[in-house]
Amino acid sequence: MMLRWGRMAAARSAAMPLGRAPTLAVARRSMATSASTENATEGEMTLFNELTKSLSPTKLEVADISGGCGAMYQIEVTSAAFRGMSPVQQHRHVTTLLKPYIKEMHGIRIKTFAAPSSS
């Protein structure tokens, strides 16, 4: 696992009381529509395939941001299926599609975008 120590974390640690450990950011890898899937975890592949099948996205990124244990995922999806939906409706649509998988997770971050019309 790669750890990244950023300037913000270093600035915060200078102001932190003694005895408190600084926060380290974990560098994450993501699985995108244009990337190879050979290094993807089983959970990433499952979510990726489910969203691809249901939404036919123009862009889809799925990342296990829990360090590989499958407890938390980040998803960014752009799809024509979201046209005419508010952001809340888009997120509800994604969570409804992934409901069987979400109940096994600690958390999920979702970013959704409606694909521009191709007229």
**Per-residue confidence (pLDDT) for residue 36, from 0 to 100:** 55
**Per-residue confidence (pLDDT) for residue 32, from 0 to 100:** 55
Q: Residue 73: which H helix or E strand, with range?
A: strand 72-79
Q: Which fold has domain 28-114?
A: GMP Synthetase; Chain A, domain 3 (3.30.300)
Question: Strand 25-26 and strand 3-4: pairing?
Answer: antiparallel
Per-domain boundaries in the chain: 28-114
* pLDDT tier, 37 (very low <50, low <70, confident <90, very high otherwise): low
**pTM exceeding 0.85:** no
Are the C-beta atoms of residues 49 and 39 closer than 8 Å to each other? no
The residues near 103 (Cβ < 8 Å, ≥ 6 apart) are none
**Per-residue confidence (pLDDT) for residue 39, from 0 to 100:** 82
The rounded mean pLDDT for the chain is 78
CA distances from 82 to 45, 47, 93 (A): 22, 18, 9
One-letter amino acid identity for 104?
A: E
